[in-house]
Amino acid sequence: MAKIIGAFASQQEVIDTINALEQAGFVQGEMKIIAKDGEHSRRIEAESDVHVDELEELASTISGQEGDGSRGQEWAAAAAIPAIGLTGGGSWNPGFAAAGLTAIGGNLTGDFIIGDEDRIHGALIALGLDEQEASSCRDSIREGATLVVIDTDDSKSLLDKDGGPDLSRLGIAEGIYRQNGASRIFTGS
């Protein structure tokens, strides 16, 4: 699987991008739209009929702050398990440990121990981005950008020729991102 991620400043840019991607043959299963919150997603969902994942809602759910916490605790456990414990240098990482305590039923709240940066990062990982992609996209989301993620089985390297145009589906998606005003484009794994 390979990804390309575009960060867009306006909802209209995202709607135009979704329409162009669909015209180019991309289907909803290959597209993931990620917004900071409901304020950044309502119009996109209404005008494109594509679901938008809202990070604030997901981050709250992951940290066990919404509803009865049962679903949030499951997601928190899934997002926190790889990172709980000691970091590479043998030091304790309290942010991830707190996520783990919340995941196993502790009473710690995400806002108290886990900062917004960790909450956003954890939510991006829960949505399928890897560590590097989540780190790259976190600042754009915090600044209010909406992400359009194309995740395809296509390999960009299959069609790459020395100095030639990129004819892969990821190359087509990148061209659409550029045409529709992407403020940043991230290449994923």
| pLDDT over 70, % of the chain | 62
Contact 73, 64 (CB under 8 A): yes
* Residue-level pLDDT at 5: 93
Of 134, 144, 140, which Cα lies nearest the Cα of 37?
144
* Residue-level pLDDT at 121: 84
* Residue-level pLDDT at 19: 96
| pLDDT over 90, % of the chain | 31
Q: What stretches of 47-177 adopt beta strand conformation (E)?
A: 52-54, 146-152
Quick: pLDDT tens for 32-48.
999 988 888 899 999 99
135: tokens are: 């780190």
Rg of the chain taking only CA atoms, in angstroms:
18
**Would you list the domain boundaries of the chain?**
2-187
Average pLDDT over residues 104-123: 53
The pTM for the full model equals 0.68
Quick: pLDDT tens for 71-105.
444 444 444 434 433 344 444 444 443 443 334 33
* Residue-level pLDDT at 38: 86
Contact 72, 62 (CB under 8 A): yes
pLDDT of 27 strictly over 80: yes
φ, ψ of residue 50 to 5 degrees: the values are -110, 135
Lowest mean pLDDT among 1-5, 100-104, 118-122, 130-134: 100-104
Element spanning 45, H or E: helix 42-48
Q: Which amino acid is at 91?
A: S
* Residue with more model confidence, 33 or 55: 33
